[in-house]
Amino acid sequence: MNKNLLPILTATLLAACAPTANAPVATTPAPTAETVAAPAAPNWSQQADEFLKSYSAEYQRLYTASAEAEWRSNTHIVAGDTANSGATARANERMAAFTGSVQNIQRLRELLEHKAELSDLQVKQLQTALYNAANSPQTIADVVKARIKAETQQTEKLYGFDYKYQGKSVTTNDLDELLRKENNPLKRQQIWEASKAIGPTLKDGLLNLRDLRNQTVQALGYPDYFSYQASDYGMSREEMMTLVRRINEELRPLYRELHTYARYELAKKYKQKQVPDYLPASWLPNRWGQDWSAMVDVKGLNLDPVLAKKGAEWQVQQAERFYQSLGFPALPPVFYEKSSLYPLPKGAAYKKNNHASAWHMDLQNDVRSLMSVEGNTEWYETTHHELGHIYYYLTYTNPDVPVLLRGGANRAYHEAMGSLMGLAATQKPFLAGLGLVDPNAKTDQTQTLLKEALNYAVFIPFASGVMSEWENSFYADKLPADKLNARWWELARQYQGIVPPAGRGEQYLDPATKTHINDDPAQYYDYALSYVILFQLHDHISKNILKQDPHATNYYGSKEVGAFLADIMRPGASKDWRTVLKEKTGEDLSARAMVEYFQPLMAYLKQQNKGRKYTM
């Protein structure tokens, strides 16, 4: 029942029961204390059920409409065309008006005052709905509307930008490929600078969004937007920052060795006589220095030539076959019918979001992915990652998980599942089983481990350090507009040991070149936590289920592994994330497994770095 109708219905029922002007007046004696029955106590559990049934149906309808509008805005971007952005803004405004309605907020708070009389599942749903309300409270409807409009406009600027290199339009895929392969330091700097050209166009919009996002959640008592996002983990902002700083410190010894190794090896590669104390950002094979794995080419494990021959479609289909081998079902037909999986054809009259993502369109079985898959190792891993999200959606879409709780145990779990499968799909026994590498080919296990460390371990200082610290400063500490870029590079130097190749003043906005800063804000620590979780899960799977070396596993075809993962996926957000982790792995959140996994690499790195100057 729509709660807005309750006052009307109540008044109607009272009028129907009232005596008419001509009706006889009752002559029944006035009741005594003995004859008056005590009023029935409210059944709060029943009231919660009724409210949640009505609320969830409307939430799902509006969520689906919003997702469809967002999908169009991300897959068909035409410069100057406001039709999609207008439709998206209207759909999101309707969603916001419902989830943040004053009546819903009041009713949610009223029901939660009686949570002792409610089931845990009811309480979780009500708390989730109240959390959602804080993102769009209609007590400040004008602010919410302005924020939705601003976010839509920022997305169009972000994904509609025309990148240029050497006078020609290029895609971010093109720039990434150039950064992986170019050996001329001057050209590398030009490529890197081209990848940062979008920043200035996003500055005003991002500053406006900072204010609007903070104001939105402050209406329901959150001090700032970063605190709001951290609360989804049941943690304060301070607790979250303490956690991610601890993870960063636990990985610091390994990162220090990797940083020293990279400085000397890259100086040698680029024929530079002077080894810099800090890594120039343009020397690294990734626009933000978050993944250096392209530095290492492991003989016998170079997948690019064979994947280029197999093509992009094979990669997506093979990722599906992997999940099916674990006991998961085939993807529903809608996935292939409606996903946007491959790069747009050359000369297309429109653009699309260039960041890989997975979508649960209707909180049922309409699942889609937005990618630009090409035949190479990076996209091979990404397809396995994105399908991890898709299968998570499908697994917790079941009768035991209410619509409002169809999410990961926490946001990091979703990323952990995807990244875990990306790791599993790149280990040698797995690749050999698929015929992608020769099982008899000699491969250097140390170099394999080094390549993995340059991916997973290198990511931690960026995610838990630079990104988390910058957004914490931006939202919670009200970082001044004339300090945005300076703070970014201060953090990059502190956590990553990376500096810009040339001066980067406040006319630039390099943090905004990271898409998440704009359209997935104040939660990048999700990815750092997800890596910690993935290594805990992988450690358990390899040692306790497969009985294999964690560095050389083959998940393919193991129904037991599939059942283990499905057990984690199935409850969605209906179980506490700490409980899920402890039950399945026997330990609390810890970087122990990740540190242990890379421990064999430390001796090699220290030997390589003997006599070299450490600067971190």
- Alpha carbon of 530 to those of 77, 135, 587: distances in Å? 31, 24, 15
Q: Residue 355 has what pLDDT?
A: 84
Place of tokens 């020609």: 168
Q: Residue 19 has what pLDDT?
A: 31
| Total-model pTM | 0.86
Q: Residue 81 has what pLDDT?
A: 82
- Alpha carbon of 369 to those of 122, 128, 349, 360, 609: distances in Å? 31, 25, 21, 9, 42
How many Cα atoms within 13 Å fall on the side-chain side of residue 610?
A: 5
Q: Residue 6 has what pLDDT?
A: 30
For residues 548 and 554, give the distance between their C-alpha atoms in angstroms, rounded to a whole number. 8
- For residue 335, with 0-12 CB atoms within 10 Å meaning exposed, 13-18 middle and 19 or more buried, which class applies? buried
Q: Is-contact 99 135, C-beta < 8 A?
A: yes
CB atoms within 10 A of CB 348: 10
Helices (H), 499-585: 515-519, 525-540, 559-569, 577-585
Strand spans (E) along 361-469: 367-370
223 Rama class: left (phi>0) / alpha (psi -120 to 50) / beta: alpha
Q: Residue 238 has what pLDDT?
A: 98
For residues 212 and 145, give the distance between their C-alpha atoms in angstroms, rounded to a whole number. 10
325-334, pLDDT tens digit by residue?
A: 999 999 999 9
Q: Residue 442 has what pLDDT?
A: 87
Structure tokens at 123: 């309480």
Chunked in runs of 10, what are the mean pLDDT values of the chain (616 residues)? 33 30 40 55 94 98 97 90 88 95 97 97 97 95 94 90 95 93 97 97 98 97 97 97 97 98 98 97 97 91 92 97 98 98 92 91 98 94 97 98 97 95 94 93 92 96 98 98 98 98 97 96 96 96 98 97 98 96 95 96 97 97
Q: Residue 17 has what pLDDT?
A: 34
For residues 334 and 601, give the distance between their C-alpha atoms in angstroms, rounded to a whole number. 44
Place of tokens 């000699």: 442
351: helix, strand or coil: strand
Q: Residue 85 has what pLDDT?
A: 85
- For residue 10, with 0-12 CB atoms within 10 Å meaning exposed, 13-18 middle and 19 or more buried, which class applies? exposed
Q: Residue 235 has what pLDDT?
A: 96
Q: Residue 237 has what pLDDT?
A: 98
- The type of residue at 291 is D
Residue 533 contacts by C-beta under 8 Å, 6 or more apart in sequence? 412, 413, 416, 581, 589
Structure tokens at 329: 């079902």
Q: Residue 36 has what pLDDT?
A: 53
